[in-house]
């Protein structure tokens, strides 16, 4: 059950109010009313936007926004009112939050269509939405929401203040900490991809471990995190995983690491803390990624790496990868020069 569906009145601020909230200097009509926020290219009259990167100067000149957050040293021409601040992107974010509709809130309740085994334990103020299934031994912490159609497996423990969106599958014996967000379509605790050849066919290797997800982790839609063959697949505190990411069995992802969409991490990889992994990156099994490493989009990592930025396949330190790319792009001209030299020497 959610809060009422009556449309609330639109939120409205004057530019003077927004300037005061952001601590900025207003150049424009302080009484101008702002009812929305959008990017420079999409903003319309009555909305505010922000300008923080010089490459968007063309969009700034053409924007229909009534006002724009700009840097303190802004000197370009614009017809929109300006609010000069130290960090335009941050100021814009604060305004977006103020203009946003009230978040959807779920009243603590158990929907009549939910299937909850008598052996499951629910904390205080838990919300279980329609057609959710909680198996025996499941434990749900205080103030947690289990979305419609989600499945919570046998002996799975979910901590307090978690948000499990609709149609999430969390299989048996998973351990989830507090304030974890898991988006729709995610599958936590599926079997790891374990098979061994035997007499001309493949036999399944039992996957007997668990998945452990620590506090303050967020997992995107349709991401899969496999259970360990033995021991645990472990997502540590504060990690943020985007949509459509594959995390294989026995992987360890360190604290506050960020992984972008469509990345694939093979079995038994150990990833350190505060690592950044770009979209569609691929990491082969049984290697280590050190703390504070940045891996570019579509990079293929086939060996242990640590620190700095890496890119290309196989992964190279970013400066070296860029140098090699520049060399490759010059090959056509180099071949042409060689042909000319050979012709002069009578070698062709």
Give catalytic residues, as residue numbers: 249
Please give the backbone phi and psi of residue 209, each rounded to the nearest 5 degrees, phi first. Answer: -85, -165
Would you state the torsion angle of the CA atoms of residues 9, 11, 14, 20, taken in this order, to the nearest 10 degrees? 140
Query: Counting runs of H as helices and runs of E as strands, what totals does the chain give?
Result: 4, 40
46 burial (CB, 10 Å; 0-12 / 13-18 / 19+) is: middle
Please give the backbone phi and psi of residue 332, each rounded to the nearest 5 degrees, phi first. Answer: -60, -45
Residues 62 and 77: beta-carbon distance below 8 Å: no
Radius of gyration for the alpha carbons in the chain, expressed in angstroms and rounded: 26
168 burial (CB, 10 Å; 0-12 / 13-18 / 19+) is: buried
Q: Which contiguous run of DSSP H or E holds residue 232?
A: strand 232-235
Q: How far, in Å, CA of 338 to CA of 344, rounded?
A: 10
The b/e string for 178-193 (b: 16+ C-beta within 10 A; e otherwise) is: bbbbbbbbbbbbeebe
Q: How far, in Å, CA of 300 to CA of 43, rounded?
A: 39
**151 DSSP assignment:** E
Cβ contacts of residue 295 below 8 Å, gap of 6+?
275, 276, 277, 278, 281, 283, 289, 301, 305, 309, 310, 311, 315
């Amino acid at each position: 059950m959610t809060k009422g569906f009556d449309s609330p009145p639109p939120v409205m601020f004057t530019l003077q109010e927004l300037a005061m909230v952001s601590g900025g200097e207003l150049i424009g009509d302080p009484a101008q009313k702002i009812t929305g926020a959008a990017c420079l290219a999409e903003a319309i009259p009555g909305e505010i936007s922000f300008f923080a990167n010089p490459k968007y100067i063309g969009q700034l000149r053409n924007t229909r926004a009534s006002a724009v957050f700009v840097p303190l040293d802004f000197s370009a021409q614009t017809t929109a009112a300006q609010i000069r601040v130290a960090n335009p992107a941050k100021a814009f974010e604060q305004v977006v939050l103020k203009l946003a509709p009230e978040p959807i809130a779920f009243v603590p309740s158990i929907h009549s269509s939910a299937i909850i085994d008598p052996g499951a334990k629910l904390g205080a103020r838990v919300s279980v939405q329609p057609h959710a299934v909680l198996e025996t031994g499941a434990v749900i912490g205080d103030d947690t929401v289990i979305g419609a159609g989600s499945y919570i497996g046998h002996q799975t423990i979910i901590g307090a203040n978690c948000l499990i969106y609709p149609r999430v599958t969390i299989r048996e014996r998973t351990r989830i900490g507090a304030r974890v967000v898991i988006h729709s379509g995610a599958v936590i605790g599926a079997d790891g991809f374990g098979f061994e050849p035997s007499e001309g066919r493949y036999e399944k290797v039992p996957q007997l471990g668990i998945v452990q997800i620590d506090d303050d982790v967020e997992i995107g839609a349709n991401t899969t995190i496999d259970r360990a063959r033995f021991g645990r697949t472990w997502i540590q505190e504060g990690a943020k995983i985007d949509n459509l990411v594959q995390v294989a069995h026995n992987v360890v992802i360190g604290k506050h690491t960020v992984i972008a969409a469509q990345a694939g991490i093979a079995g038994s990889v150990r990833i350190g803390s505060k690592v950044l992994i770009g979209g569609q990156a691929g990491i082969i099994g049984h290697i280590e990624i050190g703390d504070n490493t940045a891996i570019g989009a579509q990079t293929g990592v086939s060996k242990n790496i640590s620190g700095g930025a890496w890119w290309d396949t196989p992964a190279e330190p970013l400066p070296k990868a860029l140098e090699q790319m520049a060399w490759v792009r010059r090959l056509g001209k180099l071949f042409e020069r060689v042909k000319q030299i050979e012709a002069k020497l009578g070698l062709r």
